[in-house]
Amino acid sequence: MTAVFLLAAAAIAWVVTVDRMQGMDAGPGTDLGSFGWFAGVWAVMMAAMMLPSLVPMAGAYASQARGGSADVTPQSLLRTTLFTAGYLLTWVLVGVVAWLVFEAVRSLDISFLDWDNGGRYVAGGVIAGAAIYEFTPLKRTCLRHCRDRELLVADWREGGGGALRMGLDQGAYCVGSSWALMAALFALGVMSITWMIVIAALIVLEKLLPWRETAERVTVVVLLALAIGVAFFPGQVPGLTTPDSPAAMRAMHSMGMQEAPTHDSQMHDSQMQDMSP
Q: What is the pLDDT of residues 101-111, one digit of tens each?
A: 999 998 888 88
Q: For residue 246, is it within any domain?
A: no
pLDDT at 245: 76
Q: How confident is the model at residue 254 (pLDDT cuts 50, 70, 90)?
A: low
pLDDT at 268: 42
User: Do residues 223 and 184 touch, judged by C-beta distance below 8 A?
Assistant: yes
Q: For residue 111, is it within any domain?
A: yes
More confident residue, 245 or 264: 245
pLDDT at 68: 67
More confident residue, 185 or 276: 185
Q: How confident is the model at residue 255 (pLDDT cuts 50, 70, 90)?
A: low
Q: For residue 261, is it within any domain?
A: no
Q: For residue 268, is it within any domain?
A: no
Q: For residue 87, is it within any domain?
A: yes
Torsion of CA 74, 76, 79, 85, to 10 degrees: -80
Q: How confident is the model at residue 266 (pLDDT cuts 50, 70, 90)?
A: very low
Q: Inform me whether the pLDDT recorded for 204 exceeds 90.
A: yes
More confident residue, 116 or 202: 202
**Domain range spanning residue 96?**
2-240
Q: For residue 39, is it within any domain?
A: yes
Cβ contacts of residue 79 below 8 Å, gap of 6+?
61, 65, 159, 160, 163
Q: For residue 33, is it within any domain?
A: yes
Domains in the chain, number: 1
- The alpha carbon of residue 55 and the mean position of all alpha carbons in its chain are separated, in whole angstroms, by 17
Q: For residue 25, is it within any domain?
A: yes
